Amino acid sequence: MKILILAGGTGKRLWPVSRRNNPKQLKPLIGGKSLLKETYQRIKKGFKASDVFLSVGSNQLQMVKKELGLKSPRNFIIEPLKRGTAAAIGLACLNFKPDEIIATVNSDHYIKNHREFFRVLNAAEQTVKKHPHELVLIGINPTYPETGYGYIKLGRQIGRQGKDKVFKVDGFKEKPDKKTAEKYLKSWAYLWNPAYFVFRAGAMLELFKKHLPSQYRILMKIKKKPGLLKTEFKKIKKISIDNGIMEKAISMLCLPAEFDWTDIGHWRTIHEILSGKPSKNVVKGKYIHLGGTGNLVYSYSGKLIATVGIKNSIIIETADAVLVCSKDQAQEVKKIVEKLEHDKLDEYL
């Protein structure tokens, strides 16, 4: 099985630390290593380095090579510009034989139990071998009513792969409100969708042909004449793999999993991982407070941050920007970046 690490994102919800040309996956937001290095080194514990591929944007390639200490371009799949995860995965599929199995892995996930993670990935590979025309998803059993994740709705069980149950996928559910998420938590049929997809390259391209025919035609042009990559790839309409393929595909399978997993998608998740409890402050840099609890405070430029009576907040200070928001609004930081884009304040992007 080939592992495809999707490493071309921009991490808008982790602004102002994550920037367009120096995104979150290249930052040490959790420990001493960047999210990408943690992911790459984790994957290499379970798979040969020659079977690990990285999907990156051309503007990030040199930074990624430097971060991982890689010189050879052989295992890089380079996008000339961002066109969403569907285009990234479609382009990657052109680099593999139709019957080769690929597992997609995101570069910004936090996983505790590596052994269980590898075991489930291998079970998914064996499931694809039994069902070569179907996509296999790994779903995470939810532990609390998260509103920031998408959910997989399970259908009937069709069998087992070793000790793992294998289910038909009945559909995808968008990020729910709190009441709906609480309902999902009580039901066995709803799992978090961490976007771990396992499939044969040829099967995925057939789904592009059916559901994203214009993308498929462009990809086939690029496959026939690789020199057309720059001119043709920019014609692709930006769309995610979830919206473009997964929500339309009829035949998919899912393996429920229970390894500890977190998507480092916004500042609140970083506080949750590092604090251990909601009331604890997590601090990087100089910080003093009066009555401050449950805060995430990062001072990157060395300035002292002082607060009075501030609770359950995110305060991120860099050399050219300061972000202040409540933890329960962490998802909305993306809209700040979108406003900066709209107002053409490119120096802060």
**In a shared domain, residues 250 and 271:** no
Bond preceding residue 16 cis, omega within 30 of 0: yes
* Co-location of 197 and 336 in the same domain: no
| Shared-domain flag, residues 62 and 197 | yes
Specify whether 175 is located in the same domain as 68.
yes
Where a domain ends, among 263, 281, 298? 263
Q: What domain range includes position 215?
A: 2-263
pLDDT of residue 231: 95
pLDDT of the residue at 295 = 97
CATH number at residue 151: 3.90.550.10
Q: Is residue 22 located within the same domain as residue 156? A: yes
Please state, in angstroms and rounded to a whole number, the distance separating the CA atoms of residues 54 and 8.
9
pLDDT of residue 249: 87
10-residue mean pLDDT profile of the chain (349 residues): values are 92 93 89 93 94 93 92 88 94 97 95 93 97 95 86 95 95 86 91 95 97 97 96 94 88 92 91 91 96 95 95 96 94 94 95
Instruction: Please check whether residues 49 and 122 belong to one and the same domain.
Output: yes
Q: Tell me: do 186 and 92 sit in the same domain.
A: yes
* 315 and 170 share one domain: no
Domain boundary among 235, 263, 291: 263
Q: Outline where 47-130 has alpha helix (H).
A: 61-68, 84-93, 114-130
Q: Are both 202 and 311 inside the same structural domain?
A: no
Evaluate the CA torsion angle 35, 37, 40, 45 in order and state its sign: negative
Task: For the chain, list the strands marked E by DSSP.
Answer: 2-6, 52-57, 76-79, 101-106, 109-111, 135-140, 151-161, 164-173, 190-200, 252-257, 261-263, 282-284, 287-290, 296-299, 305-308, 313-317, 322-326
Report d(CA 259, CA 250) in Å as an integer. 27
What pTM does this model have? 0.92
Domain match, 200 and 258 both: yes
Q: What pLDDT shows up at residue 183?
A: 92
The pLDDT of residue 245: 92
